[in-house]
Amino acid sequence: MSYLSNCWYMAAWADEVENGGLLARKLLDQPIVLFRDEQGELGALYDRCPHRFAPLSKGQVANGGLTCGYHGLAFDRNGTCAHNPHGPILRNLSVRQYPVVEAHRAIWIWMGDPALAEPGSIRDLSFLVSAPETAFSKGYLHGQGHYLLYVDNILDLTHVDYLHATTLGSGAFTRTRAQVSETDGHIRVRRDCLNEIPSPLMRSIRGITEADRVDYWNTVEWSAPAVMTLSGANVPAGEARDGPHNNMNTMNVHIMTPETSRTTHYFFASTRDFAVDDAAFNARFAETRNNIFSTEDEPMIQAQQQRMGDADFWDLQPQLLRIDEPSVRVRRKLAQMIKAEAEREQTCHQVEQSAGAPER
Amino acid sequence: MSYLSNCWYMAAWADEVENGGLLARKLLDQPIVLFRDEQGELGALYDRCPHRFAPLSKGQVANGGLTCGYHGLAFDRNGTCAHNPHGPILRNLSVRQYPVVEAHRAIWIWMGDPALAEPGSIRDLSFLVSAPETAFSKGYLHGQGHYLLYVDNILDLTHVDYLHATTLGSGAFTRTRAQVSETDGHIRVRRDCLNEIPSPLMRSIRGITEADRVDYWNTVEWSAPAVMTLSGANVPAGEARDGPHNNMNTMNVHIMTPETSRTTHYFFASTRDFAVDDAAFNARFAETRNNIFSTEDEPMIQAQQQRMGDADFWDLQPQLLRIDEPSVRVRRKLAQMIKAEAEREQTCHQVEQSAGAPER
Amino acid sequence: MSYLSNCWYMAAWADEVENGGLLARKLLDQPIVLFRDEQGELGALYDRCPHRFAPLSKGQVANGGLTCGYHGLAFDRNGTCAHNPHGPILRNLSVRQYPVVEAHRAIWIWMGDPALAEPGSIRDLSFLVSAPETAFSKGYLHGQGHYLLYVDNILDLTHVDYLHATTLGSGAFTRTRAQVSETDGHIRVRRDCLNEIPSPLMRSIRGITEADRVDYWNTVEWSAPAVMTLSGANVPAGEARDGPHNNMNTMNVHIMTPETSRTTHYFFASTRDFAVDDAAFNARFAETRNNIFSTEDEPMIQAQQQRMGDADFWDLQPQLLRIDEPSVRVRRKLAQMIKAEAEREQTCHQVEQSAGAPER
């Protein structure tokens, strides 16, 4: 399956690129250089000088653009050559630029047709910005698996009961059937786990035992290409969800961007509405999460990818279960969107040709 | 050359899989998980969950089978799904099982048609079991070469005179022509080295000098796919082989199992009839052997493989010498057996079809 | 682009192969073993025993040839089997030999038709030999890029102004147009930088400031396949080039030999006519050069290669500038020479056939 092009991919956390700095990152198999000028304005270019193919990321940010470190050609953020110390600026001395936007603590890039890039279509994740620093933490994982394996991981939280049995799992996700729905292209997976065994982590935070019972709610919401929110809430069993003991709401993001067909940039962040001023708790919370992702999820997904090799997911004939419903819907939706893109491109091409436009 | 299927391959030493434990190992390019239940009963499954392709080896042994560590599906040692926590057990929720048998301190696996698996056809290596612990040692080497290069190494012991000149070689193997014979599919290579120079190791153990002479006998016996015994005996020159000074008999195994077309699981073990209670001697003996294998044989075979690349042995037109006779016979025999297997499968297939059986 | 065959490639520095020693090195994708007998006489053979494909480089030098370390076959420097301890010497027991010559502190190898190998066609680099040891230094870099990227690097010294701005560059190379000429197949790139800013290194050695002005001259001369000299001279601005203050002449070589299509053996050396007895200066000079090559040039060229992947240089449509003139001329010249070789071989083949000679 190829990638969806005309959508915003998260390229980096905003603070990964400082003013006057740059970041080389491969996205959807393409080498990209992200950079900021001294005023903080962002740019994104194909990371290869058109002259002799040195990566522009091995150069410097200067005059609002990038200067190649090998022979000194400079390009502005539109990819136009702004300076050639060795002669005139020829028309072909340009490099592909990508629309890039900073929003919600992240840098978003548009890998498709720039004419279609609409910053307003970036998903609203403003809760990441409004959260106090002591109730916010984020991370990045360079995943060694196809990005949809990471998406599957979040869409099917029953894995928590097995892979994270000592921290997040109590069997509740397995016992509670997920409700899957779709609104405006967002696929939502909701679980209401009522009168359930608290997870080890919940017990530790609430100071309760395995014998106590809790009600908890959990909703994952996916939108294309792979931007997911995960909200969780819990109360002692039977209490009102909006009552005084619902003091354990978390709101998280899990965002995956393909690096290659077998590797993923996995960005995640958490906010919460309890212990919001507790920096030490915040740090422990982040450490626990990072530890779970890197020592439990990541090795499992790597191992899955190794067993799948370069085969297509469907060609391997997965024996799907009820719990795969969200994952299958997301994969189908993405496939439809990718197909629609290809058809649209085909149509544009035909229109151009019949209008006598030069072939691309 | 493809692999022989309908035969027993050594998969592991018996003690590599403890009760309640498992071992992931690739055999003949297939990922396999070996496991034992708490009672010690063995199982072997294709190491990939049919659901989402997680390796079963990343799960746990439970209830005589394996539970997948990602979503909790359980499989018994027949590969049948024994438990699906997420719904009914569908017919396709099964995984390939392999016949597996413990014998002679080793675990043997049948990679071909399970209906043909006959434990009685495992070669008798019971001397490995009857040897006292202080006269037994074993090892394993993850070889970076085609398994037949390791087989060649043992079938043609003249290499000892060059590669192991400081320990095992004295030129005697080169000077003594091997007698090659075949009985019941076993290919035997025998050398009677009479009135010969003792090897450095022989001198050290017997307390003799290079000027002394010894008679020694050496027999390698190969059976398919790559199970070899190597027996050695020596006496002061002219003495009776069954006389009182023949106190240096060793009996060894060299067993190779293909991991991939370029890597090998090489299992080896030694027993002897001298210094049988001497644990310190036993340890030194093992250390010397392991050292020779890993610092002399393995680098040479790796280097051979690198020079051969992915080419077929015969396509490279090896300039064969008299000393290659055993190796050529083994390669031809294996090629015949593999061809016979392919023809047999072809015939079965035709019979099934003419009988109106569904195509596989 | 394939390699030029009928020419001398530098295989090693002469002191990389000691008397009685050997060196395994891949050249033009072929594994080669270089060796010397006890008297220092050189040999070069294809590094693979024709018997079982062990590298001959894992054996020993003996009797003016090489003995295979696996089964003891010996080959002389003509590639003929000189000893087979296991039977008669059969006609096919031979290995390809390569003409090899020691000259100018280097070992040169002829990878094409041995009948055409003419030691007189090795480029005269005798200044490497006549330089005193305290005014000579050399190095080797195992480059991770196509050899022509290393050639480009020297042919276009404007890169110095950007990549080596803190040591060798002052902008002078960019400001001064190169004069490119060709004589007898040698392509010469000359720059006369008059009244120019001295480079940081020049300032440090001459004890002058950035405000001072110098005249300097720089000539690179390439000959096939990739043998380059680089001469430099400088004087205080306006003084005579042959006057008393021209005390900073250097004469250097940059020689590249393809290892594979993406890796290079890069040999370099420097001589000078100032501070010729100063061993400490000599060591600092070498260290600075080696440091620049390994921490500035090599990472840039590696990065170029990564961006180019396995694509052909021209297929990537480089946007060439005026500064690429020498590089383009060299690439065209090499392409012509390679084409001429292919045509010559074609013609020879036809002549042989029409003369009734056996097909090769």
- Whether B53 and chain A come into contact, CB under 8 Å, resolves to yes
User: Is position C2 within any domain?
Assistant: no
Q: Are C91 and C58 found together in one domain?
A: yes
Q: Are C192 and C235 found together in one domain?
A: yes
Predicted pLDDT of residue C1: 62
Distance of CA C99 to the CA centre of its chain: 17
Q: Which of C102, C121, C140 is the last residue of a domain?
A: C121
Q: Which residues 91-130 of chain B have a CB within 8 Å of chain A?
A: 92-93
The answer to whether B185 and B333 have CB atoms below 8 angstroms apart is: yes
Distance of CA B252 to the CA centre of its chain: 12
Q: Are B110 and B171 found together in one domain?
A: no
Peptide bond into A225 cis (omega under 30): yes
Predicted pLDDT of residue C359: 44
Q: Which of B98, B121, B144 is the last residue of a domain?
A: B121
DSSP label at residue B17:
S
pLDDT tens series, chain C, 360 aa: 699 999 999 999 999 999 999 999 999 999 999 999 999 999 999 999 999 999 999 999 999 999 999 999 999 999 999 999 999 998 889 999 999 999 999 999 999 999 999 999 999 999 999 999 999 999 999 999 999 999 999 999 999 999 999 999 999 999 999 999 999 999 999 999 999 999 999 999 889 999 999 999 999 999 999 999 999 999 999 998 888 877 789 999 999 999 999 999 999 999 999 999 999 999 999 999 999 999 999 999 999 999 999 999 999 999 999 999 999 999 999 999 999 999 988 887 777 777 655 444
Predicted pLDDT of residue B345: 85
Question: % helix / strand / coil in chain C, to the nearest 5?
Answer: 30, 30, 40
Choose the closest CB to B304 out of C53, C84, C93: C53
pLDDT single digits (tens) B141-189: 999 999 999 999 999 999 999 999 999 999 999 999 999 999 999 999 9
| Secondary structure element (H or E) that encloses residue B347, with its range | helix B325-354
CA distance C128 to C60: 31
Choose the closest CB to C162 out of A48, A53, A69: A69
Phi, psi of C61 (to 5 degrees): -80, 130
Whether residue A277 is predicted with pLDDT greater than 60 in this model: the reply is yes
Unique residue bearing structure tokens 């002829």: C110
- Whether A321 and chain B come into contact, CB under 8 Å, resolves to yes
**Contact at CB, C51 and B158, closer than 8 angstroms:** no
The answer to whether C147 and C256 have CB atoms below 8 angstroms apart is: yes
Beta carbon pairs, A and C, within 8 Å: 64
User: Is position C332 within any domain?
Assistant: no
Confidence of residue B356 (pLDDT cuts 50, 70, 90): low
CATH number at residue A273: 3.90.380.10
Q: Are B24 and B103 found together in one domain?
A: yes
CATH number at residue A61: 2.102.10.10
CA distance B235 to B178: 19
Which sign does the torsion angle of CA A86, A92, A96, A101 carry?
positive
Q: Are A268 and A148 found together in one domain?
A: yes
Q: Are A273 and A162 found together in one domain?
A: yes
Residues in chain A: 360
- Whether C85 and chain B come into contact, CB under 8 Å, resolves to yes
Predicted pLDDT of residue A359: 44
Predicted pLDDT of residue B86: 97
Whether residue A355 is predicted with pLDDT greater than 70 in this model: the reply is no
Q: How many domains does chain B have?
A: 2
User: Is position B239 within any domain?
Assistant: yes
Domain residues for the domain of C19 are 8-121
User: Is position B306 within any domain?
Assistant: no
Q: Are A99 and A231 found together in one domain?
A: no
Please name the residue of chain C whose CA is at the shortest distance from the CA of residue A88: C321
- Whether A316 and chain B come into contact, CB under 8 Å, resolves to yes
Q: Which of B94, B121, B148 is the last residue of a domain?
A: B121
Q: Are C211 and C270 found together in one domain?
A: yes
Q: Are A148 and A60 found together in one domain?
A: no
The CB-side HSE value for C209 (13 A sphere, CA atoms) comes to 1
Distance from CA of B325 to the nearest CA of C (A): 12
CA distance B314 to B312: 6
User: Is position A340 within any domain?
Assistant: no
Q: Are C64 and C147 found together in one domain?
A: no
Distance from CA of A159 to the nearest CA of B (A): 5
Count the Cβ atoms, other than its own, within 10 Å of residue C82. Answer: 18
CA distance B264 to B145: 6
Burial C103-130 (b: 16+ CB within 10 A, else e): bbbbbbbbbbeeeebeeeebbebebbee
Choose the closest CB to B71 out of A162, A303, A316: A162
Q: Are B105 and B142 found together in one domain?
A: no
User: Is position C339 within any domain?
Assistant: no
Phi, psi of C14 (to 5 degrees): -55, -35
Distance from CA of B72 to the nearest CA of A (A): 6
Predicted pLDDT of residue C299: 98
Q: Which two tokens stand for residue C311?
A: 């694509």
CA distance A292 to A287: 9
Q: Are A45 and A148 found together in one domain?
A: no
Predicted pLDDT of residue B276: 94
Q: Which two tokens stand for residue A38?
A: 């001294």
CA distance C24 to C94: 18
Mean pLDDT of A317-344: 96
